[in-house]
C-alpha cells in the first residue's frame, strides 16, 4: 500500500529555515578552532606577536587554522544578520515572539564585540596600533598596557560563555528550536568553509612586526562606531512595540480532519494535541499556546487547518455553542 501523505514537510528542506542553526554551527566551528589556536598563543606584550608568527608560519596547518577561524567568525555574523532579516520579513518580531527578537539583537551585539576583540587579540601591527590608541587615551604605561591586552583577550574568551546564557533565553519560547541544521547542510557548510580556507589563506607574517602606517581611529572614534551599532540595535529592539499585529490562531475543522497529526509533529510550540471525537482521533489546537506561525497550515495535506483572527475564532466558538443548545 502506497502512503499518500508523507511526513516530510517541504519547507524543512529550505536552507533559509535553518539560518539560526547555521549561525550556531559557525559558533561551534569558532569555539573548536579558537581553542586549538589558544593552545599555541601567549597573550603578553613580548610574546603575542612571536606566538602568532609561530602559529602562522611554523605550526602545521596553523595558517589554515587561523583562516578557518576567521572565516567562521565572518560567516557567523553574516548568517546571524540574515536570520535577523528573515525574522523581520516573516513578521516574527512582535508579541509573543518579541523576546526572541530582543535577545537576537543582543546576540548580534555580543558577536560584534567578540569578533573585534578577536582581531585585537591577534596583536598584528594594525590591531596593535588600535590598542596603542587605547593606551594613549588612558595614558597607560607598559604594565597597564599589558593589563589592557589581558582584559581584551579575557573578553574574547569569556563572551562566548555569555552567548550560551543569552541563547537559553532566546530559545525559551521555542519548544523545538532548530539548533542544528540537517547533516547534509552541515557537511556542505564545513566543506565550503574548508575550501575557501584552502583557496584564500591569510598571508604569512614577517619575523618582526613592521610599523603600521595606515589610518588608526582614536579611542573615542572607535567607541563612537560601537555606540552607533548599539543604538541601532536598541532602536530595532523597541521598534516592534510600535507595530500592531493581529493575533492569529490555528483552527482545525475537526469534521474533516483525517487524524494524521502531521500538524502536531511540526508545531514548534506543541500547541496541537490529539483528542477523541466520537470514534475518531482528531487534532485540537490549544489557542493559549498557538502563536499563529502558520507551520501547521502549510503542513496539513488535507487543508483542514486555517489561520484565523483570535476575535473571529472566538465568535465561531460562541456561535457553535449557541447552535448546539438551540
Cα separations (Å) of 213 from 45, 109, 128, 203? 20, 30, 12, 18
What region does 163 belong to: left with phi over 0, alpha with psi -120 to 50, or beta? Answer: alpha
Mean pLDDT of the chain: 81
Contact 204, 48 (CB under 8 A): no
pLDDT value for 179: 73
> Taking CA 82 as the corner, what is the angle to CA 19 and CA 101, rounded to the nearest 5 degrees?
85
Predicted confidence (pLDDT) per residue in 27-85, tens digit: 999 999 999 998 888 877 778 788 888 998 999 999 999 999 999 999 999 999 999 99
Higher pLDDT, 103 or 15: 103
Q: Report the C-alpha gap between 74 and 193 in whole angstroms.
A: 11
Residue 29's nearest CA partner among 68, 87, 74 is 68
Predicted confidence (pLDDT) per residue in 119-159, tens digit: 888 777 788 888 888 888 888 776 777 788 888 888 888 88
| pLDDT (mean) for 201-224 | 84
Domains of the chain: 10-242 (1.20.810.10), 248-325 (3.30.70.20)
Using the predicted structure, report yes or no on whether residue 313 has a pLDDT greater than 60. Answer: no
Cα separations (Å) of 292 from 189, 202, 259? 31, 47, 20
Using the predicted structure, report yes or no on whether residue 10 has a pLDDT greater than 60. Answer: no
Cell numbers 589592557 correspond to 148
Report the share of the chain in percent with pLDDT over 70: 86
pLDDT value for 3: 42
Higher pLDDT, 46 or 116: 116
pLDDT value for 80: 93
pLDDT value for 182: 84
Contact 72, 193 (CB under 8 A): yes
| pLDDT (mean) for 194-214 | 86
pLDDT-based confidence at residue 2 (cuts at 50, 70, 90): very low
Give per-residue burial for 176-206: e unless 16+ CB within 10 Å, then b: ebbeebeeebbeebeeebeeebeeebbeebe
Q: Report the C-alpha gap between 189 and 79 in whole angstroms.
A: 12
| pLDDT (mean) for 274-303 | 81
Cis peptide before 8 (omega within 30 of 0): no
Amino acid at each position: 500500500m502506497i502512503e499518500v501523505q508523507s511526513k516530510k514537510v517541504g519547507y524543512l528542506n529550505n536552507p533559509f529555515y535553518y539560518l539560526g542553526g547555521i549561525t550556531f554551527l559557525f559558533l561551534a566551528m569558532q569555539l573548536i578552532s579558537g581553542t586549538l589556536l589558544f593552545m599555541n598563543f601567549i597573550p603578553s606584550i613580548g610574546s603575542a606577536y612571536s606566538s602568532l608568527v609561530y602559529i602562522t608560519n611554523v605550526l602545521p596547518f596553523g595558517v589554515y587554522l587561523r583562516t578557518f577561524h576567521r572565516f567562521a567568525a565572518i560567516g557567523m555574523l553574516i548568517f546571524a544578520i540574515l536570520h535577523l532579516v528573515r525574522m523581520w520579513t516573516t513578521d516574527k518580531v512582535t508579541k509573543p515572539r518579541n523576546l526572541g527578537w530582543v535577545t537576537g539583537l543582543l546576540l548580534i551585539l555580543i558577536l560584534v564585540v567578540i569578533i573585534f576583540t578577536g582581531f585585537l587579540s591577534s596583536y598584528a601591527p594594525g590591531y596593535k596600533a588600535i590598542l596603542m590608541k587605547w593606551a594613549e587615551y588612558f595614558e597607560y604605561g607598559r604594565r597597564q598596557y599589558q593589563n589592557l591586552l589581558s582584559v581584551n583577550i579575557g573578553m574574547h574568551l569569556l563572551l562566548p560563555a555569555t552567548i550560551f546564557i543569552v541563547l537559553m533565553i532566546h530559545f525559551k519560547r521555542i519548544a523545538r528550536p532548530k539548533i542544528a541544521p540537517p547533516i547534509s547542510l552541515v557537511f556542505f557548510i564545513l566543506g565550503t568553509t574548508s575550501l575557501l580556507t584552502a583557496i584564500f589563506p591569510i598571508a604569512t607574517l614577517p619575523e618582526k612586526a613592521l610599523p603600521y602606517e595606515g589610518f588608526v581611529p582614536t579611542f573615542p572614534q572607535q567607541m563612537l562606531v560601537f555606540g552607533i551599532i548599539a543604538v541601532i540595535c536598541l532602536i530595532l529592539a523597541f521598534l516592534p512595540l510600535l507595530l500592531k499585529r493581529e493575533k492569529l490562531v490555528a483552527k482545525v475543522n475537526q469534521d474533516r480532519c483525517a487524524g494524521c497529526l502531521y500538524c502536531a509533529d511540526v508545531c514548534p510550540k506543541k500547541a496541537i494535541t490529539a483528542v477523541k471525537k466520537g470514534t475518531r482521533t482528531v487534532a485540537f489546537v490549544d489557542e493559549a499556546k498557538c502563536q499563529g506561525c502558520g507551520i501547521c497550515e502549510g503542513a496539513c495535506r488535507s487543508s483542514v487547518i486555517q489561520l484565523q483572527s483570535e476575535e473571529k475564532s472566538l465568535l465561531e466558538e460562541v456561535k457553535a455553542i449557541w447552535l448546539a443548545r438551540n
